[in-house]
């Protein structure tokens, strides 16, 4: 079975071609970072317009890389949500047009489900059940996953997601968007123990997250130490001071993400743990997961870094299983802004 997948939930236009759930034939991602960087974040209307320009050449490139034509595609898989409604509609409308013209069945895929199973795109694949932390710009959630169709939300952020906190702290420090990669790079030159930013553990048994407090703590620290951080003339952030703030902030976020996920493994007596989502590309988070997982006797699995951020390969993989179990979606399929699997029942 050949699956052509399209992902357009936010600011990446992506397409992938996969044979069954085993062989990735093509994976193309067109980023809009340069477009949105000057605004310090994603501008929804601009994102939608850019998807309109990029989607045809991106899909065409994926087909070319896979050395196939549309006539050889058996199933279309399209991100249905969550995400920016305008961006999602571009991808869904494009997929529906292909489905109608070429008479190709298609399925809608929850973007979060894609992240949950992106780990299967790597060489080392976990056995079910496993605990998965999905950490990204829009979500920080812990799931108990028992198979490709059954996953239970056991913890989530109550305010800012981890990736969102990285972006906001970067903006406070006058660093470019997106904040995650920049803070990660600067943290390598800083002292993670130089500043103690608070860790929000919430209730003793809670697996939920809260990152708004640490963001506020960083903002207050910066306000109280303007001269140290920005210099006497206020021309720009001093490198060493900024590196220490980045390292200390990152350490606080990583500590909470790892500790809560390991606690979930103990609560559910699960030996396999998965780290996925855009923030899973963070080297420090990956290092701490491996170290703490080893200490607790857990098998730790992570997607290759290229599959942590938004991509269509994970949508193809999830779409394959959805189609095999449920068959094709109807033409009245619509998009949604909030994930149905990150809502507590």
Whether 89 is in a domain gets the answer yes
Distance between the two ends of the chain, CA-based, in angstroms?
Answer: 34
Query: What does the DSSP assignment read for 216-282?
Result: HHHHHHHHHTHHHHH-TT--S--HHHHHHHHHHHHHHHHHHHHHHHHHHHHHTT--EEEEESGGGG-
Q: Which residues of the chain have pLDDT under 70?
A: 231-239, 344-345
Q: Are residues 146 and 48 part of one domain?
A: no
Of the candidates 163, 143, 164, which has an alpha carbon nearest to the alpha carbon of residue 152? 143
Distance CA 275, CA 282 (A): 11
Q: Are residues 139 and 287 part of one domain?
A: yes
What number of H helices and E strands is found in the chain? 11, 10
Question: Residue 78's beta-bridge partner residues?
Answer: 6, 108
Q: Are residues 47 and 79 part of one domain?
A: yes
Q: Are residues 276 and 223 part of one domain?
A: yes
Of the candidates 264, 302, 268, 267, which has an alpha carbon nearest to the alpha carbon of residue 285? 302
Count Cα neighbours of 226 within 13 Å in the Cβ-side half-sphere.
6
Q: Are residues 150 and 101 part of one domain?
A: no
Whether 54 is in a domain gets the answer yes
Whether 234 is in a domain gets the answer yes
Query: What is residue 234's predicted lDDT score, i.e. its pLDDT?
Result: 55
Whether 293 is in a domain gets the answer yes
Q: Are residues 86 and 212 part of one domain?
A: no
Q: How many domains does the chain have?
A: 2
Q: Are residues 135 and 98 part of one domain?
A: no
What does the block give as tokens for 279?
């923030």
Q: Are residues 292 and 314 part of one domain?
A: no
Query: What is residue 99's predicted lDDT score, i.e. its pLDDT?
Result: 97
Q: What is the pTM of this model?
A: 0.94
Rounded CA Rg of the chain: 20
Q: Are residues 169 and 152 part of one domain?
A: yes
Query: What is residue 342's predicted lDDT score, i.e. its pLDDT?
Result: 77
Whether 345 is in a domain gets the answer no
Q: Are residues 133 and 39 part of one domain?
A: no
Of the candidates 88, 26, 18, 102, which has an alpha carbon nearest to the alpha carbon of residue 55? 88
- What is the CB neighbour count within 10 angstroms for residue 177? 18
Distance CA 196, CA 238 (A): 19
Q: Are residues 274 and 321 part of one domain?
A: no
Provide the domain limits for residue 84.
Answer: 2-116+308-326
Distance CA 345, CA 20 (A): 32
Place of tokens 């920049």: 182
Query: What is residue 341's predicted lDDT score, i.e. its pLDDT?
Result: 84
Whether 48 is in a domain gets the answer yes
Whether 282 is in a domain gets the answer yes
Whether 201 is in a domain gets the answer yes
Strands 12-19 and 2-7: antiparallel
Q: Are residues 105 and 253 part of one domain?
A: no
Question: Residue 27's beta-bridge partner residues?
Answer: 16
What does the block give as tokens for 232?
């006497």
CATH number for position 212: 3.30.420.40
Strands 23-31 and 12-19: antiparallel
């Amino acid at each position: 079975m050949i699956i052509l997948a399209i992902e357009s939930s936010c600011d990446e236009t992506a397409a992938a071609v996969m044979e069954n759930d085993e062989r990735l034939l093509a994976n193309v991602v067109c980023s809009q970072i340069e477009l949105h960087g000057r605004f310090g974040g994603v501008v929804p209307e601009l994102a939608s317009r850019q998807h309109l320009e990029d989607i045809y050449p991106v899909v065409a490139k994926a087909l070319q890389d896979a050395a196939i034509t549309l006539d050889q595609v058996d199933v279309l898989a399209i991100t249905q949500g969550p995400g920016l409604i305008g961006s999602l509609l571009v991808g869904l409308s494009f997929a529906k047009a292909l489905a109608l013209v070429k008479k190709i069945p298609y399925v809608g895929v929850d973007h979060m489900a894609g992240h949950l199973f992106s780990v299967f795109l790597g060489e080392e694949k976990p056995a079910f059940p496993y605990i998965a932390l999905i950490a990204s710009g829009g979500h920080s959630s812990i799931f108990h996953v028992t198979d490709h169709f059954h996953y239970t939300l056991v913890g989530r952020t109550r305010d800012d997601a981890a990736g969102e906190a990285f972006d906001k702290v970067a903006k406070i420090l006058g660093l470019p968007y997106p904040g995650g990669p920049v803070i990660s790079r600067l943290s390598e030159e800083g002292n993670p123990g130089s500043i103690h930013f608070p860790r929000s553990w919430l209730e003793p048994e809670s697996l939920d997250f809260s990152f708004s407090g640490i963001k506020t703590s960083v903002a207050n620290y910066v306000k109280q130490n303007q001269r140290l951080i920005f210099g006497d003339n206020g021309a720009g952030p001093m490198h060493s001071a900024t590196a220490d703030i980045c390292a200390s902030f990152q350490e606080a976020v990583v500590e909470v993400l790892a500790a809560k996920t390991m606690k979930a493994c103990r609560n559910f007596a699960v030996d396999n743990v998965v780290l996925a989502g855009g923030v899973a590309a963070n080297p420090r988070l990956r290092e701490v997961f491996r170290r703490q997982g080893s200490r607790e006797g857990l098998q730790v699995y992570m997607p290759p870094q290229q599959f942590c951020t938004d991509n269509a390969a994970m949508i193809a993989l999830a779409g394959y299983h959805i189609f095999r179990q449920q068959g094709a979606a109807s033409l009245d399929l619509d998009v949604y802004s909030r994930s149905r699997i990150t809502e507590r029942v």
